[in-house]
Amino acid sequence: MNAMAITALVLYGVFVVLTAAKTQLQRRHGADTGIRRPASPLAWAARLPLALGSLCTGVAAPIAELVGLTPLPGLDQPALRTAGAALAALGVAGTFATQLAMGQAWRTTPDETERPRLVTDGPFRIVRNPIYVAYTAMSLGLALAVPNPIAVLGAAAVLIGAELQVRAVEEPYLRRIHGAAYLDYAARTGRFLPGIGRLTDHGTKKGPR
């Protein structure tokens, strides 16, 4: 299935180009690109699996298939591969769209010296973390499109990284800088899925996660 491996590489290339375009648009309309370096070991622990997992699903896995790595038999089905490519394409488009929806508040990771506005409109009315939803969908789609062990491990790393980034890095940061405004928003809006993972004013979950 070399064609699907090439499709995966192209989709990931589009993702990289669109992310670069977002940074340049942000620079053009604001002070900088929004790219921030993780400032703590915990932040690094979240960002590394996100980045490495993404590279595994979008680059290493397709190349490995092109050079002969055997796909996983249970997942090596044409329908699943096609569905995966479609999901990955939606994830690429969704990641770019939700990054744009954040406007100048978009950052690659929180910076404790900054206080960007709390974005609660557009896709952020539906879930609190639509960028990570789309990013994860892209990674899962690529893993289905090129279903070898490297892709599966990469998708798992993205899932772990997204959970760490949101729960351990971004949510505590948003509580600190936005206080009651963030708690009110989080009490009515799900974390990754609509209505699921909402928080009470005391930071405990209001519904199933």
Structure tokens at 33: 């690109």
Beta bridge partners of 205: 199
Domains in the chain, ordered, with CATH?
Answer: 2-188 (1.20.120.1630)
Backbone angles phi, psi at 76, to 5 degrees: -85, 70
Q: What digits encode the pLDDT tens for the residues 88-137?
A: 999 999 999 999 999 999 999 998 888 999 999 999 999 999 999 999 99
The letter for the amino acid at 195 is G
Q: What digits encode the pLDDT tens for the residues 144-203?
A: 999 999 999 999 999 999 999 999 999 999 999 999 999 999 999 999 999 999 987 444
Q: Check if the beta carbon of residue 169 is closer than 8 Å to that of residue 110.
A: yes
CA dihedral sign, ordered 172, 173, 178, 184: negative
Q: Check if the beta carbon of residue 155 is closer than 8 Å to that of residue 53.
A: yes
